[in-house]
Chain A
Amino acid sequence: EKLGLGRAATEAEVAAWDLDVFPDGSNLPEGSGDVFTGEEVFAEHCAVCHGDFAEGVGNWPKLAGGEDTLADDDPLKTVGSYWPYLSTTFDYVRRSMPFGNAQSLSNDDVYAIVAYILYSNYLVDDDFTLSKETFLDVDMPNADGFFVDDRPETEYPVFTERCMENCKPGAVEITKTVVFKGDPNAGASADEVETSAPAASDEAAAPAVEDAAPVTVAFDAELAEKGEKVFKKCKACHKVGEGAKNGVGPMLNGVWERAAGTVDGFKYSKPMMAAGEDGLVWNAETLSGYLADPRSYLKGNKMSFAGLKKDADIEAVLEFLKSHSQ
């Protein structure tokens, strides 16, 4: 029996949220994108994590390669080698990418990115344009590689024996011992950590931020709090606060009044290093300029971020960064 709770959804509301695209291409939006455009869009929005050729950076997903590896010991599962439906790629890029700035891409850009990912997997030619009309022309190599869960037939009838006595012949022997003996965060060579200096505990005792600024930077706590919210757009790549480490971008503790390109252990672009050597220091003026339009402020730098459009957002995020430069 209906309780009459809730209200009717409007068409605009349904259209705003109902983005899912099906394997048969239904619910695809209007628009199109070609490989050539895709390469540019991909370089701008995706390459920082997925690599210029969709080959992946660090632990971030590889989107290309891996053909004929699925039966290997360590299969490489990419859009090309594993994903059965092209709709999945379109759907996911449109709703969830770029990481940290989801749903910021136009439908044309999504088509273009997907076209480029296909090209990176040698699944289309360089003159290919992806749209509603061409969507089903693309053959996904692993489309037939899946079967519906068959555990009820292959496993459940077999896994029924409850032996209580003499269940194994011969003596029980260890066949494998644990790979990571201690705290798994100590790394692959847990044994080495005990003998090599500095020990993990020494590291923790050392100042977390080697560039702890001698001067205190005054900041507006309320505005900094607003800036923390704006910083959500940044934190997919930049860490800040206690124990912050370099990620896709350098950690930002103490960024205030720091020379550009000088955080230890981060691989900066050449233009960023050069700018730092030429005297670029991060302050209200330089950071405002950089964050408003990262690409044109410093041509050729690595940060793939479109920029903050609102001055108020920039002001707030600067205050937030100040608060982490104490």
Chain B
Amino acid sequence: EGDPLITEVQDWAAGLGDGVDATPYGMPIEFEDHVIRRTVEWLTADTISSINFTPIHALDGTITPQGCAFERHHSGAITLRKEDYRLMINGMVDTPLVFTYEDLERFPRVTRTFFLECAANTGMEWAGAQLNGAQYTHGMIHNMEYTGVTLRTLLEEAGLDAAGDLAGKWVYVEGADASSNGRSIPMEKALDDCMIAFKANGEALRMEHGYPVRLVVPGWEGNMWVKWLRRIEVMDKPVESREETSKYTDTMADGTSRKWTWTMDAKSIITSPSPQMPITHGKGPLVITGLAWSGNGAITAVDVSLDGGVTWQEARLAEPGKPMALSRFYLDIDWDGSEMFLQSRAMDDTGYVQPTKAQLREVRGLNSIYHNNGIQTWHVNAEGEANNVEVS
């Protein structure tokens, strides 16, 4: 009588496990091998210039492990040794400088946690419900604890007197890879909170995230977080590079386009239940959980609706929201087994309330591609299966 897993002596309780030398740098246990980045082959012409998605549906807490944090490359993830790394600061500075990696480690250091969201996250969903899973609809995001040097520290080392009045000045940042992915950033932001990061979540950056050095631009679209950062130029005007004109601009219904839409507005997503995370335990206690973030500040509250937005209740934040970092929310309910239209809605400390898709479309039309932060709906049926839908 009883569960044999309890009443009988199991192999693992009798025999021995792996020694400490089995895995000098570990991977998740084999049973978690489905929790991986996934791409969608037909979205792009080639996997070298492409995107994959963080398995946010299967993660909890707020920190994204580097090994499954989404990747976006414009000409592939390059292999660059620390010894071969050089960072140049030039343009309107007192002394154009070149730093080695070793130099960077000698500057006063900071450690800060921020989310990085691709401007195109949820971009497929402008035209309607497209992909079935939080990983695919909202997985171009990760949240890491970065260690490095502030951009201000480096700019001041080169000296900004030559730039004169800093109002209206810009910095251009580019990478060492073939795409170079250059972006222009207003000086005000550069001096405010940008970082030159060389560690994430305590370990060296992974190759796919810009090893050995990347730029961190808190709250702003991921494309600006230049990987393999090789050059910072102080300028009196923006470059208007490919990545800030032909891409990462938002076309409105009338055919005109917004540019310099850098900030990622407040957004949230229920990660479970969701299409890849159906309810398998039947009715009764159910944890509804998800992520919320804002590029404008800290998340102050998240509301969850079970009925497609007619009534809302405030979820519980795992801890108080931190500026420009992911917040985890939970709503613990007693599920009666009836169908649900699950939605979440984020609020940040500027008073912004995450809009519905309809509200966004009213302003922007359907062709924006980028910056879709509309409220997502999962239809959960009586069997506990969830699907991506839109509701009236």
Residues of A at under 8 Å CB distance from B? 2-3, 5-9, 13-14, 17-18, 20-24, 49, 58-60, 70-75, 77, 79, 82-85, 87-88, 91-92, 95-96, 99-100, 102-103, 145-151, 154-156, 158-168, 170, 172-182, 184-185, 187-188, 235-236, 247-248
A72 to chain B: closest CB distance in Å?
A: 8
Which residues in B have some Cβ–Cβ distance to A below 8 Å? 38-42, 44-46, 48-49, 74-76, 88-91, 95-100, 103, 106-107, 128-132, 136, 156-159, 172, 174, 178-180, 182, 230-231, 233, 237, 239-242, 245-246, 249, 251, 253-263, 265, 275, 303, 307-313, 341, 345, 347, 350-355, 359, 363, 366-367, 379, 387-392
- Find out whether the CB atom of A151 lies under 8 angstroms from the CB atom of B97: no
**A75 contacts B367, CB within 8 Å?**
yes
Task: Flag if A173 contacts B310 (CB, 8 Å).
Answer: no
Contact of B157 among A3, A146, A182, A236 (CB under 8 A): A3
8 additional A-B pairs beyond A6-B89, A13-B98, A160-B352, beta carbons within 8 Å, are A18-B231, A84-B240, A85-B245, A91-B242, A149-B258, A149-B262, A165-B311, A177-B129
Q: Is A75 in contact with B353, judged by CB distance below 8 angstroms?
A: no
| A162/B40 in contact, CB under 8 A | no
A145 to B76, CA, bound (A): 31
Bound form: Cα–Cα A174–B96 in Å: 59
Bound Cα distance from A163 to B375, whole angstroms: 14
Contact B96 A156 (CB under 8 A): no
- On whether the beta carbons of A178 and B131 are closer than 8 Å, the reply is yes
Question: Are B103 and A167 in contact, CB atoms less than 8 angstroms apart?
Answer: no
Q: Please, how many angstroms separate the alpha-carbon atoms of A59 and B43 in the complex?
A: 8
Question: In whole angstroms, what is the CA distance A252 to B159 when docked?
Answer: 52
User: B237 contacts A179, CB within 8 Å?
Assistant: no
Q: Which residues of A contact B240 (CB under 8 A)?
A: 22-23, 84-85, 87-88
CA distance A59 to B180 in the complex (A): 21
> Contacts A8-B97, A172-B308: A158 and B391 contacting too (C-beta < 8 A)?
no
Per the bound structure, the CA–CA distance linking A156 and B312 in Å amounts to: 21
A2:B251 contact, CB within 8 angstroms = no
Given A96-B180, A160-B351, A235-B48, is A178 in contact with B258 using a C-beta cutoff of 8 Å? Answer: no
Residue of A17, A156, A180 touching B352 (CB-CB under 8 A): A156
Partner of A163, one of B130, B265, B312: B312
**Which residues in B have their C-beta under 8 angstroms from that of A102?**
75, 178-179
CB distance from B255 to the nearest CB of A (A): 3
Number of residue pairs across A and B with beta carbons under 8 Å?
249
Chain B residue nearest to A166 in the complex (CB): B310
In the complex, what residue of chain B is closest to A101 when comparing beta carbons? B178
In terms of DSSP, what is the predominant structure of the interface of chain A? Answer: loop
Alpha-carbon gap, A312 to B311, bound state (A) = 70
Task: Find B341's partner among A59, A172, A182, A235 (CB 8 Å cutoff).
Answer: A172
Cross-interface CB contact of A168 among B39, B245, B308, cutoff 8 Å:
B308
Q: How far is the CA of A72 from the CA of B254 in the complex (A)?
A: 8
Partner of A77, one of B246, B307, B312: B246
- B348 CB to nearest chain A CB (Å): 11
CA distance A4 to B230 in the complex (A): 19
A24 and B389 alpha carbons, distance in the complex (Å) = 47
- Please determine whether B157 and A6 come into contact, CB atoms closer than 8 angstroms: yes
**Chain A residues within 8 Å of B353, by CB:** 159-162
B241:A178 contact, CB within 8 angstroms: no
A166 to chain B, nearest CB (A): 7
Instruction: Give the chain B neighbours of A182 by CB distance below 8 A.
Output: 132
Chain A residue contacts of B130, Cβ below 8 A: 178-180
Residue of A nearest to B91 (CB): A18
Q: Which residues of A contact B89 (CB under 8 A)?
A: 6, 9
